[in-house]
Amino acid sequence: MRWFRFAGLILLVMVVQASMLANLNSGPNLLLILVVFFSIYCDLDEAIITSFAIGFAADLSGSSMPMGPQTLSFGLLGTALAYLRRVVNVRNMASQALAIFCVALLAGALAQLLAVLKGQAFTAETWGILLRIAVYSGVVGPFLFLPSAWWMRIRPSRLSR
C-alpha cells in the first residue's frame, strides 16, 4: 500500500466532500465509496486499517454527528466486506454498485443508531436521506474505482480476477 498516496487521496476527497457536496443535502458519500474500494482491492490487513481511517476522516469532515459513529460503522462494515469478498465476487460494476448501496445503508443506519445512543436527536426524514445517499453513492461509486486504482497504483491484474 502506498500510504502517502492514500493520505493524499483521503485529504482530497474530504475537501471535495466538505466543500462541493456539502450543498447537496443527500449527494453521494465519496468517503464511503472509498471504503468499499479499499475493502475490495486491498489485502485484509490494509482493508481494515483503511476502513477505520476513512471512517475517522468522515467524522472529521464536518458531519453533524458526534465524533465516533462513522469511524465505527465504516470500520466494521469495511472489515466485513473485506472478509465477504473472499466468498462473493465483487469485481463487476453491478456488484460494486450493489455493495456500495448495501454498505451505505448499513453504515448510515449503524452511525445513526450510535449517534442516538450518544444523545443526538433522530428526525423523521433521516431514513429518506440515508436512502438517497445510498442510491447516489451506488450509482456514482463504480465509476470512481478506475481513477482511484490509477492514483493508488493498483495493478490491473489485481482488478480482474
**pLDDT tens for residues 64-83?**
667 888 899 999 999 999 99
Residues 6+ apart with CB under 8 A from 82: 39, 40, 42, 44, 47, 48, 51
pLDDT (0 to 100) of residue 90: 85
Looking at residues 114-127, what average pLDDT do you find? 80
Dist CA 108 CA 114 (whole Å)? 10
Which domains can be identified in the chain, with CATH numbers? 3-155 (1.10.1760)
Angle in degrees, 0-180, between the axes of helices 126-152 and 3-19, rounded to the nearest 10:
140
Return the residue matching grid coordinates 449503524: 110
Q: What percentage of residues in the chain have a pLDDT greater than 70? A: 90
In terms of Cβ atoms closer than 10 Å to its own Cβ (0-12, 13-18, 19+), residue 91 is: middle
